[in-house]
Amino acid sequence: MSPMTTNPARPGSVPAPSPAAAPALPLLRTTLTPRAAGPATAPGTAPAVSARDFRFSYDGRTPTLKGITLDIAPRMVTAIIGPSGCGKSTFLRSINRMHDLIPAHRYEGEILLHGTSIFAPGTDLVSLRQRVGMVFQRPNPFPKSIYDNVAYGPTLNRLVPRRDVPDVVERCLRQAALWDEVKDRLDEPGTGLSGGQQQRLCIARALGNQPDVLLMDEPCSALDPIATQKVEELIFELKAAYTIVIVTHNMQQAARVSDVTAFFDRGELIETGDTERVFTTPANERTEAYITGRFG
Ligand SMILES: Nc1ncnc2c1ncn2[C@@H]1O[C@H](COP(=O)(O)OP(=O)(O)OP(=O)(O)O)[C@@H](O)[C@H]1O
Ligand SMILES: [Mg+2]
């Protein structure tokens, strides 16, 4: 990547009006069912991912991300919501440096993974992407067998002894709630599964890499309600072991699965906080307008 200039973190770049001043939203209180309340971040817990005044441009001129400062708590689900084109996917892809191959791109600011810059000289991208896994909107299994889709990462990255790979494959397929559906046809192509099964296969493949952080970009947008429910249940279980960041356009889904919600608009982080708080008493009127469906 080609940093523009070194720009120290700019605390306070995110508007943070007082939540106490925001009006309650009775409508949302009755239509949404946020998960059990609890503190969004345990005091003193170091963030898994920390963006510091992170700015990004695809062409080196047009700003797409305009100074994102956001801490992502470990072993929690953070939902990123916001209107189409506001930079959600760009931010997600930045966390495992997927823009590195775009020639004109430029960035400034910082993204830390457990306190270490992902842009530090000598950062091993294979290792970064092993630690920060990604699941995309459209399932994209490798043109390989179901087994090999999941075995590929742990084998390539030598995460376990070769003899243990079959156990890893089974564990990941079970974690992804797919094992029972595929255990008798592991040697068949992953591309032959249904869309919802393919998405769960891609989640199993990501888990095979034993990531620390799992980035999910609209993972349910191509799924039917049953497959969506399975993926949501899976996300809920996975957060015991993984830090999950999910981009979703589905407000009910964000309310159901996430602990923390971050609202982006036009390349900026407008508001972030405990999901229940953001959905019931948003501090910013743009957040309120978006979650009540008045724009976006
Ligand atoms: N590869 C790319 N090259 C150039 N511009 C891009 C590229 N990808 C995205 N953009 C632009 O960056 C901006 C943010 O796009 P991004 O995909 O991050 O939005 P998003 O919030 O994920 O939107 P959506 O909800 O529609 O997926 C948009 O203006 C988009 O056109
Ligand atoms: Mg997107």
Q: How far is the CA of 166 from the centre of ligand 2 (A)?
A: 34
Burial label for 98, CB within 10 Å (0-12, 13-18, 19+), is: middle
- Whether 106 is in a domain gets the answer yes
Q: Is residue 34 part of a domain?
A: no
Atom 16 (ligand 1) nearest CA: 87
CA separation for the pair 180, 50 (Å, rounded): 37
Domain extent, residue 186, equals 49-291
Please work out whether the CB of residue 78 comes within 6 Å of at least one atom of ligand 1. Answer: no
Ligand 1 center–CA 90 separation, angstroms: 6
Residue 107 to residue 95: CA distance in whole angstroms: 12
Tell me, yes or no, whether 26 lies in a domain: no
Tens of pLDDT along the chain (296 residues) come to 445 433 333 333 333 333 333 333 333 433 334 343 344 455 568 999 999 999 999 999 999 999 999 999 999 999 999 999 999 999 999 999 999 999 999 999 999 999 999 999 999 999 999 999 999 988 999 999 999 999 999 998 888 999 999 999 999 999 888 999 999 999 999 999 998 899 999 999 999 999 999 999 999 988 888 888 888 998 998 999 999 999 999 999 999 999 999 999 999 999 999 999 999 999 999 999 999 988 76
What's the structural domain count of the chain?
A: 1
Percentages helix, strand, coil for the chain (3-state, rounded to 5) are: 35, 20, 45
Residue 1 inside a domain? The answer is no
Query: What pTM was computed for the model?
Result: 0.85
**CA angle (98 as vertex; 165, 264 as ends), nearest 5:** 115
Nearest atom in ligand 1 to 59's CA? 4
The dihedral sign for the CA sequence 266, 267, 268, 270: positive
**Cβ 89 under 6 angstroms from ligand 1:** yes
